[in-house]
Structure 1
Amino acid sequence: MSTSKKSFSSVNPLLETRDVIALKDKTGNLYESISIIGRRANQISVNMKEELHRKLDEFSVHADNLEEVHENKEQIEISRIYERMANAPLQALTEFNDDRIYHRKKVM
């Protein structure tokens, strides 16, 4: 499975129908294809979450007073960018269809 860092914003966030036969043809088994896409989606989700937290931590103020919560326009904009991105399964499906996910069968 590929773990290299890629731009998350290049995937269309809108849902559309998919050809399950084409998914099956890539591995020979529809359920194996879905499993590969699911594992990659988990990786993408974790990477996006870590990246978002890193960016938002730059704005965090470690103060004892909880009443001093103020909004930062840059922080809000970063959050909006991540909200508009395609979700992790759509990104993983796009990578799978574009043959950008490395996978192999385990030999038992």
Structure 2
Amino acid sequence: MDLKKTTAPVNTITYNKHKIEEPTGNIYEAITIIAKRAGQINTEIKNELIDKLDEFATNNDSLDEVFENKEQIEVSKFYEKLPKAHALAVEEWLHHKIAYKEAVK
């Protein structure tokens, strides 16, 4: 997932209920699928952030010295400014980028 190219909104917006439920015909199924995808996206972003911050980790057990790493701060600021996982998932849903299977009844 390329987070720099996303068009998902950073702020909360109102979506048309009919567009959300259109692929499944059921708003609750659509929201469940979007929620599961948001959880996956959140895990991906979290793992990516941890990997990047581990590059800056120091093995210093001393509390006397606190290092301010400008690169680490920039990475953190980038991830803070990203749209939330649910906004990214809704954006993927509206652009039909989420594949799902209907449960057999």
TM-score by length of 2: 0.92
Q: Which residue of 1 aligns with 2:2?
A: 7
Task: State the secondary structure of the residue aligned to 1:75.
Answer: helix
Q: Which residue of 1 aligns with 2:97?
A: 100
List alignment gaps of at least 5 residues for structure 2.
none
Q: Which residue of 2 aligns with 1:3?
A: none
Q: Which residue of 2 aligns with 1:70?
A: 67
Percent of residue pairs identical: 39
Alignment check: 8 A CA contact 1:59 1:75 kept: yes
Question: For 2:29 and 2:64, how far apart are their aligned partners in 1?
Answer: 51
RMSD of aligned residue pairs (Cα, Å): 1.0
1:41 corresponds to which letter in structure 2? A
Alignment check: 8 A CA contact 1:41 1:89 kept: yes
List alignment gaps of at least 5 residues for structure 1.
1-5
Q: Which residue of 1 aligns with 2:77?
A: 80
Q: Which residue of 2 aligns with 1:43?
A: 40
- Show structure 1 runs of 4+ deviating over 4 A: none
